[in-house]
Structure 1
Amino acid sequence: MDRAAKRELIDSLHTTLKSTGVVVVAHNTGMVASQSAEFRKRLKEAGGSVKVAKNKLAALALKDTDAEKLSDLLTGPTILAFSKDPIAAAKATVTYAKTNDKLVILGGAMGKTILDAKGVQALADLPSLDELRAKIIGLLNAPATKIARTIKEPGAKLARVIQAKASKEEAAA
């Protein structure tokens, strides 16, 4: 790779890393091409991307970003997974690492917060944005349902009493 191509790779990776919500660094020792392609596919479906670059070039791309301290993790065969969604890349990487022992998570960064492997795992365990929205909507709807049931109940009780009284009178006659 010549100097111009290296500079272009560093610039594009730097721009991408500046706009991501989360970056996960992992070792991919021994992963064959089909496994790597499967990992890329899963991350793309989750809304993220994967980049394999020389550690020195990746460290240069990380300079002046929130995840700059991740350059300490760039030793050996590393892979960078990232997404704008602060949970997607972590969740997809952790899920894939559970099925493939050749992908070992080293750490990551969410904004300016540097995470170790356990931190990435904890981030992946969080519910997605859509799940959180559904829970909030459920919590907001519950009181409205209870209010409607409470308002309706006295009328329903009165109707049942009148019906019982009418049934009793019919039976007596």
Structure 2
Amino acid sequence: MKIYTKAGDKGETSLFGGERVQKNNQRINAYGTVDELNAFIGLALTEIKSDEIRNVLIDLQNKLFIVGSDLATPDTEKNKKLNITRTGEDFIKKAEADIDIFTEKLDELRNFILPGGSKGSAMLHVCRTICRRAEREIVALKNFEKINENIIVFLNRISDLFFVLSRYENKVSNYPDTIWKPQ
């Protein structure tokens, strides 16, 4: 089977379920940014020292595939028979539990911190910012189309999770947080 189909050569693509849309459609922007986040998590995994963080990131990558398919499949009567796995509340609860677990291992945050430290930590901060952009894209999509509300909540939580994981990665890599000092 060839990887190229030529079906998108005129600037259109298919959503799951068959509907054709322009490649700059807001739904495509939304799940494309989720895909970008997933790819950058893959890059971050090449630099992460903590096995605990690696396990969380691999779990997130698998969940983000579900988020992408959820976004790529409009919730219509026609698509209900496709039996797509949707982003569930369990995703949110797991992210919150992970935030709590890693936060307990860190010193209390008393200042704003700057992204950076170890290379792995810096990459997790980039994941956080891509996640926030994905969240904005999905909120923009919500203005025009019905979406699964759990997606927005999940992305909001995991952006916080990336922040906590970046701090923990610095800790296990022996890099202190870089405190923001206003000029």
TM-score (norm 1): 0.30
Bigger RCO of structures 1 and 2 (CA < 8 A, at least 6 apart): 2
Higher CA-based Rg: 1
Q: Kindly indicate which of the two structures has a greater share of residues assigned to strand.
A: 1
